Amino acid sequence: MLEDVKKNASLNLKTAYGQIEGILKMIECDRYCIDVSKQILSAASLLRKANLEILRGHIKTCVKDAIKEGKEDEKIEEIFSIIEKYAKTGG
């Protein structure tokens, strides 16, 4: 995996992890529901960003290598499978 991809994905995941811990504390302290919901949406956004970084690395490495080897069809189908999941969940 590319180093910049690792760095960016890890940063987003660590930030989301911290937010999720904070969200759990907010729930335990009976914080206002809308405030909790906003934090959940923020954490979900960070997870999506991390996933996009991982996919970026996959395309730049695995897919690129598969194309060189003439085995691109399988990797292209993997990408479409992920795109379909994004479409079902609203990205």
CATH of the domain at 57: 1.20.58.1000
Q: Tell me: the pLDDT tens digits for 36-88?
A: 999 999 999 999 999 999 999 999 999 999 999 999 899 999 999 999 998 88
Predicted local confidence at residue 91, as pLDDT: 62
Structural domain harbouring 75: 3-89
Q: Residue 12 pLDDT > 80, yes or no?
A: yes
Domain tally, the chain = 1
Structure tokens at 42: 């923020």
Residue whose structure tokens are 């690129």? 64
Predicted local confidence at residue 87, as pLDDT: 87
Write out the DSSP string of 4-52: HHHHHHHHHHHHHHHHHHHHHHHHHTT--HHHHHHHHHHHHHHHHHHHH
Cα separation, 21 vs 11, in Å, equals 16
